[in-house]
Amino acid sequence: MRDVTGVTSVKRSHISHSFFCQVAEPVLTSQLKPHQEKPNFIIKTPKGTRDLSPQQVLVREKILDLVVSCFKRHGAKGLDTPAFELKDFDIAGQFDPMIPDAECLKIICEILNGLQLGDFHIKVSDRRIMDGMFAVCGVPESKFRAIGSSIDKLDKMSWKEVRHEMVAKKGLAPEVADRIGEYVQCHGGVSLVEQMFQDPRLTQSKQALEGLGDLKLLFEYLTSFGIAEKVSFDLSLARGLDYYTGVIYEAVLLQTPAQARDEPLNVGSVAAGGRYDGLVGMFDPKGHKVPCVGLSIGVERIFYIVEQRMKTSGEKVRTTETQVFVATPQKNFLLERMKLITELWDAGIKAEMLCKNNPKLLTQLHYCENMGIPLVVIIGEQELKEGIIKLRSVASREEVAIKRENLVVEIQKRLSES
Amino acid sequence: MRDVTGVTSVKRSHISHSFFCQVAEPVLTSQLKPHQEKPNFIIKTPKGTRDLSPQQVLVREKILDLVVSCFKRHGAKGLDTPAFELKDFDIAGQFDPMIPDAECLKIICEILNGLQLGDFHIKVSDRRIMDGMFAVCGVPESKFRAIGSSIDKLDKMSWKEVRHEMVAKKGLAPEVADRIGEYVQCHGGVSLVEQMFQDPRLTQSKQALEGLGDLKLLFEYLTSFGIAEKVSFDLSLARGLDYYTGVIYEAVLLQTPAQARDEPLNVGSVAAGGRYDGLVGMFDPKGHKVPCVGLSIGVERIFYIVEQRMKTSGEKVRTTETQVFVATPQKNFLLERMKLITELWDAGIKAEMLCKNNPKLLTQLHYCENMGIPLVVIIGEQELKEGIIKLRSVASREEVAIKRENLVVEIQKRLSES
């Protein structure tokens, strides 16, 4: 499940583990569309998609580029159908625990830092700790998932409300609910993991101990990756327990009180993931368990946040990447503009000119200002005769004369400096 | 109709014309897929899609990147639904003829040159010349499209066969077919355009004269863009006559006799386009005619050609972009490798290491050779004590010692040189 953008990409890096990176789906829903057979594609809008302005498309493209380039920085491999990669393929026991899991958390940090969405933190827990906690607190196994889904609401509801739901609606004994309450209100760093290792009740569960052991190792690795302070062990994290089998994590954006007043966004989870060894194993032809860790980036939510912030700040985004505009003050200079712009295109420079025979110079300069094009090359009779061109900075309005043969080098120099 | 990659992108550059660039659809069919709601996306393969190996995905990605970056070099604007852009929007008469059309041909040349598919040429003609020719040759108007579709087969069938089809199956008078035959077997450069201007029969058609006038202007612009020798006027070009209204064009790959023997590919059209002012006008709420030129790149066919050539040549493609591998000869050095790789990631360098506690050095070096990773950073006890690391070139197997604090700069230098 990946498209040509690398939006959903998969990594089976190294010989030792399988490692999936996935961008959360909503963006794909609205972006990917069936094709039409004939060029009337231009008008037909497939159902269920939405119109995006060029600005919106550009914002999305920039966000996705950042996500994909981070995946590639970590050795991600493009793969159309991950299932394909898993055929004839047995990696059980070949990887060492928690190393790829820690890398997933590092990737999430790099992406959220890169997107400059503001401060964030990542909650981690483990399916085995959650199940172990339920068991030692006295939750009947048949109610594990129902109680898990109540606990998952703790980011939106108070403990009192969640407790009420568990007892009144889901029939949990009040004393069991209170025991759970002692745990799920805890969050902290590696010291909380250590503390739980001393907990006489929780340590009765073998699987909780396994989970705690892995979390301790995870925190050690997070320290080496320099991101331990971004991560907290949070026993209320209960997402995806239907398919995750080990470590789970979820990144949330933090808002300053001022931000919360100015932009009353429902800032929630923007990235999440975990280990799901069992799930993939179910589909393995030989029934092997295939260890997998995965992460999702909530791209649609991130789009929304970025767009809201841009609305608030009035910030504009360029809709093209054009670097240079070719202008003339002269009439009947179209062919000369064409020759000049060909030199730029052939040197890989993004360049435009007006498709008119005799545009006014003011019109051309206004176009550059409107479109945010940084440089203008101006050519006229005089310049042509002297073998020079004028290079104009749109921002400063400064013009310098440059030898025609040095133009490409000079433009490349200016672009690389900016 | 565009997706997040900018695969299908639209340009309404300048104030003066509307300009569509579109990648032909087949690639989208097989690449774009509906999303699934839940993370079992990994296994489910939507119907009608096909499994691609990481190598295939990478080849596709590189080809699409080249196409998209060419569109952007020409000021392309991302747009989700081109229809959106055309709302409130009247550009009739605001552009000067043939300038955007010439730019489309320039874009096709840049893309096909960039893809290094071998020599190619572009056939151009004009719907108005085709219709005018039919009229003056005596084709009844009701048979225009049927005869056009016969002529479109001239790249696969001989004139004799096409003539037979027109006369025996489509009921065209033999003398009318013969008159058509005189035209559709002609192809040449701007001199053929001039020659047709002197043709006593064809010049009886006002619309053929209009088309010839535009082609003459087009060739003038193509000369300024430096691509006139790639383009030939070809009266047998009859593609897309249902929707194109003016200039039409089609790029075909040329094969040397040796190539044709070694790779018996059906090398046909790899890019095409034309002007379709009327089509879009039909959908304009006020019924205005909106001038549009468009081009399609036959990405799926190009994929196929590149893949076939790679099979023949045995050439391999790297499936990751990893630049540096972090290795150690030492046991219990995982945390040091993690700290080192974090420095690389944080500097934007694409880096990997094995996710094992104690991998063998030979295993690590083999991994780099297999994956085509060019550089290895080696760290051990001794290096750690001295504050250095060893930087190894995988190809030459040369190793140099470098101060730890200079590592990132040294790697960036080497990568920029390679």
**Among B249, B283, B313, where does a domain finish?**
B313
C-beta separation of B352 from B322 below 8 A: yes
Virtual torsion, Cα A324, B2, B41, B307, nearest 10 deg:
-70
**pLDDT at A156 (0 to 100):** 86
User: What's the CA gap between B101 and B21, in Å, rounded?
Assistant: 11
pLDDT at residue B47 is higher than 80: no
- pLDDT, tens digit (0-9, with 9 covering 90-100), for B386-410: 999 999 999 999 999 999 999 999 9
Q: Are B174 and B126 within one domain? A: yes
Instruction: Determine the average pLDDT of the residues in A181-205.
Output: 95
Q: Are B137 and B279 within one domain? A: yes
Answer yes or no: is B239 within a domain: yes
Residue that is written with structure tokens 């108007």 in the block: B141
Q: Are B300 and B334 within one domain? A: no
| Residue A90 assigned ligand-binding role | yes
Tokens, residue B262: 């070694």
pLDDT at residue A202 is higher than 60: yes
Query: Of B35, B96, B355, which has the smallest distance from its Cβ to A357's Cβ?
Result: B96
Answer yes or no: is A36 within a domain: no
Query: Does B338 contact A225 at a Cβ distance shorter than 8 Å?
Result: yes
Answer yes or no: is B30 within a domain: no
Comparing C-alpha atoms, which of A265, A332, A278, A340 is closest to residue A304? A265
Q: Are B151 and B219 within one domain? A: yes
Comparing C-alpha atoms, which of A280, A316, A298, A360 is closest to residue A91? A280
**pLDDT at B49 (0 to 100):** 40
**Among B285, B313, B341, where does a domain finish?**
B313
Nearest residue in chain B measured CA to CA from A276: B39
Please state, as a whole number, how many other Cβ atoms lie within 10 Å of the Cβ of residue A154.
18
Range of lowest pLDDT (A39-48, A379-388, B54-63):
A39-48
Which residues of A fall within a CB distance of 8 Å from B345? 73-74, 106, 110
- pLDDT, tens digit (0-9, with 9 covering 90-100), for B360-369: 999 999 999 9
Q: Are A285 and A184 within one domain? A: yes
Provide the whole-model pTM.
0.67
Query: Does A44 contact B1 at a Cβ distance shorter than 8 Å?
Result: yes
Q: Best of B20, B73, B292 to disrupt the A interface by mutation (most A CBs within 10 Å)?
A: B73
Q: Are B105 and B225 within one domain? A: yes
- How far is the alpha carbon of B65 from chain A, nearest alpha carbon, in Å? 9
Angle at A125 between CA A131 and CA A70, to 5 degrees: 140
**pLDDT at A171 (0 to 100):** 96
Q: Are B211 and B303 within one domain? A: yes
Please state, as a whole number, how many other Cβ atoms lie within 10 Å of the Cβ of residue B405.
10
Answer yes or no: is A86 within a domain: yes
- How far is the alpha carbon of B67 from chain A, nearest alpha carbon, in Å? 13
Answer yes or no: is A254 within a domain: yes
Q: Are A133 and A229 within one domain? A: yes
pLDDT at residue A257 is higher than 70: no
User: What's the CA gap between A383 and A385, in Å, rounded?
Assistant: 5
CA B120 from chain centre, in angstroms, equals: 13
**Among A313, A338, A353, where does a domain finish?**
A313
Instruction: Determine the average pLDDT of the residues in B237-254.
Output: 87
Q: What are the start-end ranges of the H helices in A225-276?
A: 257-262
Beta bridge partners of B11: B19
Query: Of A57, A79, A345, which has the smallest distance from its Cβ to B80's Cβ?
Result: A57
**pLDDT at A125 (0 to 100):** 96
Residues listed for chain B: 418
Residue A378 domain boundaries: 324-417
Comparing C-alpha atoms, which of B375, B282, B363 is closest to residue B325? B375
User: What's the CA gap between A54 and A372, in Å, rounded?
Assistant: 14
Element (H, E) at B258: helix B257-262
**pLDDT at B30 (0 to 100):** 18
Q: Are A62 and A157 within one domain? A: yes
Q: Are A110 and A169 within one domain? A: yes
Tokens, residue A127: 């399916």
Number of domains in chain A: 2
Which residues of A fall within a CB distance of 8 Å from B34? 29, 32
CATH classification of the domain holding A130: 3.30.930.10
pLDDT band, residue B323 (cuts 50/70/90): very high
- pLDDT, tens digit (0-9, with 9 covering 90-100), for A94-112: 578 898 889 999 999 999 9
pLDDT at residue A310 is higher than 90: no
Instruction: Determine the average pLDDT of the residues in B297-317.
Output: 82
Which residues of A fall within a CB distance of 8 Å from B4? 3, 5, 7, 27, 31-32, 57, 60-61, 64
Instruction: Determine the average pLDDT of the residues in A267-289.
Output: 67
Residue that is written with structure tokens 């300069």 in the block: A365
pLDDT at residue B376 is higher than 80: yes
* B115 compared with A61, residue with greater pLDDT: B115
Instruction: Determine the average pLDDT of the residues in B108-127.
Output: 93
Comparing C-alpha atoms, which of B387, B271, B407 is closest to residue B341? B407
Q: Are B227 and B336 within one domain? A: no
Query: Does A320 contact B77 at a Cβ distance shorter than 8 Å?
Result: yes
Please state, as a whole number, how many other Cβ atoms lie within 10 Å of the Cβ of residue A217.
17
Answer yes or no: is A2 within a domain: no
User: What's the CA gap between A406 and A388, in Å, rounded?
Assistant: 9
Residue A262: what are its φ and ψ, rounded to 5°?
-75, -40
Which residues of A fall within a CB distance of 8 Å from B53? 79-80, 84
Nearest residue in chain B measured CA to CA from A244: B39
Query: Does B41 contact A220 at a Cβ distance shorter than 8 Å?
Result: no
- How far is the alpha carbon of B363 from chain A, nearest alpha carbon, in Å? 9
User: What's the CA gap between A23 and A25, in Å, rounded?
Assistant: 6
Q: Residue A15 contacts by C-beta under 8 Å, 6 or more apart in sequence?
A: A94, B354, B363, B367
pLDDT band, residue B81 (cuts 50/70/90): very low
- The size of the A-B interface in CB pairs under 8 A is 308
CATH classification of the domain holding A357: 3.40.50.800
Residue set of the binding site of B for L-histidine: 90, 239, 243-244
- pLDDT, tens digit (0-9, with 9 covering 90-100), for A122-163: 999 999 999 999 999 999 999 999 999 999 999 889 999 999
**Running DSSP on this structure, what letter comes out for residue B121?**
E
Answer yes or no: is A318 within a domain: no
Q: Are A177 and A249 within one domain? A: yes
* B79 compared with B297, residue with greater pLDDT: B297
Query: Does B57 contact A39 at a Cβ distance shorter than 8 Å?
Result: no
Which residues of A fall within a CB distance of 8 Å from B79? 52-54, 57
Query: Does B15 contact A367 at a Cβ distance shorter than 8 Å?
Result: yes
Q: Tell me the percentage of chain A whose pLDDT exceeds 90.
A: 54
Answer yes or no: is B356 within a domain: yes
